Chain A
């Protein structure tokens, strides 16, 4: 199958997945307890006022009408109005996207920078203290819940030692880009430092599980490669050990690792919810938590659609790249 046919096929499958997500989320709204109007309005509101508000929000329409209204707006980017703020959902969700992407990418960078060298070290010093250390680290990393780690980092590094701020995102990459576009390099550098200072703890929190996962993956992949015939042959030819390890073995190890990194990026975007709540990071996760608390269904649906779209896109992209990098894999 050619690349373009593959892409078309996967895109259609992706659309089906997204439609499924929309429908499930829409259905959840009707089986979950709590009428949005009762959460929006205090109980002492006059029943007439309550009825007016419900009508204004369109909550009194039949199910299929509400479903159609919602789904017919999506192709033109209309995700409806928030029940709470009455502002367009699409704009709100898109405005939150950069913060979450920054966090996901920063977490990935933390993971890659730590995990790959650690995995290599662990594989090349098998059954030595460094290997045991790395194994313990990844075991602890995989078993530590995000929210606990986040709270501990804040308590120790922010509150006790005063090394980092506890929360907030005073400036984002988009803000730094704006400063750079304005020609103000000094301010942009200051902005970047502030950004780095604020994103470090959330990125570590979100990236720890990922780091542990990639460490283990690199270690086992590397061990596998080092045992292969071509490695032994290279050594026999007299190639320096560093060249054998880092040029040949590591390269082959990284192919599956890159796939996992790509796929995990999608998970990180969806999984940032708890980390964002702990650090009051104003991204999609915070928006999702707040809209659940406020029973603001349109915002929740909009956010989940964006997460689903992101996930599907990353998946398609990773599949396409994988086949491109490794010609043994066909597009089918």
Chain B
């Protein structure tokens, strides 16, 4: 499932290109969140061209009118947000130089950077920033943006008179507001948006980012060039081309042949081919996507906690990660990934213990149960193979029979989104990406009684999440950790793997994979 998709915001302040580097680090403390800002300036050592091949082409170029990672990756090179994230996922300043909560109000304040220009040469104004926020959250200002809930809790924005700053009003405390702005909201120019019709905006770009649009051929390619007047150093990449090939083997062939420089989603069985080649390598990073097996709390045999725990003891997760995913994955023990706010580091994955599993099944009173795992095919890295391995291990228990049922992703999602727990399959494999790096949002969506995809109802757990919603900083983190510990013990899921993003990269290019699935060409340099 596309989940929260990836980033819509801007680029980290980090530029490649060899040469001399000067690094300045400043620490800002704002509203209980501590952030480190690292700015690296580099002397340009001659530009080079880069081609990136994804699985699909962008659905358009309007940064506020889409919900796909593939489109994000293209538009984020031309558009930026007030905040951004570095490669490790921590919040950084971008078009804002400072951000803080306003005392006594449910509002935050962004102080904007001076001297930033749009690609058409006009200077960035606070009006543009306020307009962009309102265009997403307020249907009256622009259109029904499919991103409005990505800025959940944001009521609107206004310019602070006489200052180069913007005030964002929240409908409540909104503990995750900076996290949201670090991931979402691309700033557009008010006059440019108002002067052009929607079709034009979907085919052209005018942002403040390091690359400007050169040409866009729908379904074929997007060509960007380095923006000379960028507020940081000009990008080392001179021309950046995006193309698409839906077949993984086609992408690998293109990379090996030198027709492209970076490809997404190299499947484990193709990794060897890339590694063995003379001109390319594999780069991987843990993503923000968690793969799990949900078990409905309200149907037999999954209504028994012992039975659900038994399922976790029954599988050899370590072996699945090593043998099915070729090592491109990490074991999980809870709904929150290690990089996320709220992760509980004290929890270990369930060990492989078939005897314990068998005993727990007996204890649950469901010995002899026959269960069926619904799984999509080809949606996540090795999804079917993971499902087969899980069902295989469980089937090996003498007192449970497990089978796999392959599902079309579309029809499975229809059932998952039907709105009630009863309409969902009793046992299914699914993935969830959360680009805001917030464990609270994941648990809210997947495990709270009213969650979008929930299969569990537990009043104590709901109370913890509600409590976290009214807290911020370390207090909130501690509450979320408690919720994770509870999920670990009660096992609403069979905890599976954190998915890795696996890329193939031309050896001539220095580039690191990021955990938020963004591909940042501004951070590329020549080796």
Chain A positions near chain B (C-beta within 8 angstroms): 32-35, 38-47, 49, 52-53, 56, 84-87, 92, 95-96, 151, 154-155, 158-159, 162, 165-168, 277-280, 282, 286-287, 289-290, 293-295
Contacts and interface: CB of A to CB of B under 8 A. Distances in A.
24 contacts: A33-B408, A33-B411, A34-B410, A35-B410, A38-B414, A41-B67, A41-B146, A43-B416, A43-B445, A44-B445, A56-B143, A85-B60, A86-B199, A87-B218, A151-B249, A154-B253, A162-B257, A168-B254, A168-B259, A277-B247, A279-B250, A293-B56, A294-B56, A295-B410
Contacts of B4: 42, 44
B246 A277 contact: yes
B413 interface: yes
B453 interface: yes
Nearest to A42: B2
B148 interface: yes
A34 B413 contact: yes
Nearest to A39: B410
B219 A167 contact: no
A32 B247 CA distance: 23
A294 B419 CA distance: 22
Contacts of B246: 277, 280, 286, 289-290, 293
A32 B245 CA distance: 25
B144 interface: yes
B408 A43 contact: no
B429 to A, nearest CB: 14
Given A45-B146, A53-B146, A151-B249, 16 more contacts: A33-B408, A34-B411, A34-B414, A35-B413, A42-B4, A43-B413, A43-B445, A46-B152, A49-B145, A85-B60, A95-B219, A280-B250, A286-B219, A290-B56, A293-B56, A293-B246
Contact of A33 (B149, B152, B254, B414): B414
Interface string B274-291: 000000000000000000
A42 B259 contact: no
Contacts of A43: 1-3, 413, 416-417, 445, 452-453
B123 interface: no
B139 interface: yes
A152 to B, nearest CB: 11
A167 B408 contact: no
Contact of A96 (B145, B198, B219): B219
B413 A92 contact: no
B243 interface: yes
Interface residues of B, number: 52
Nearest to A81: B199
Contacts of B2: 42-43
A271 to B, nearest CB: 17
Interface in B328-353: none
A280 B60 contact: no
A35 B414 contact: yes
A280 B65 CA distance: 26
B408 A34 contact: yes
Interface in B389-433: 408-411, 413-414, 416-417, 419, 432
Given A33-B408, A278-B247, A49 B253 contact: no
Of A34, A38, A42, A44, the most chain B CB neighbours within 10 A belong to A44
Contacts of A151: 249
B447 interface: no
Contacts of B220: 282
B315 interface: no
Given A87-B199, A167-B245, A277-B246, A38 B59 contact: no
Interface in B138-159: 139, 143-146, 148-149, 152
A167 B259 contact: yes
B5 A42 contact: yes
A107 to B, nearest CB: 19
A194 B250 CA distance: 19
A159 B257 CA distance: 6
Given A166-B259, A167-B253, A85 B218 contact: yes
A280 B149 contact: no
Given A158-B257, A162-B257, A46 B416 contact: no
A85 B202 contact: yes
B256 interface: yes
Nearest to A36: B410
Closest 4 A-B residue pairs measured CB to CB? A34-B410, A33-B411, A46-B149, A52-B144
A95 B218 contact: yes
A56 B144 contact: yes
A287 B186 CA distance: 29
Of B59, B65, B148, the most chain A CB neighbours within 10 A belong to B59
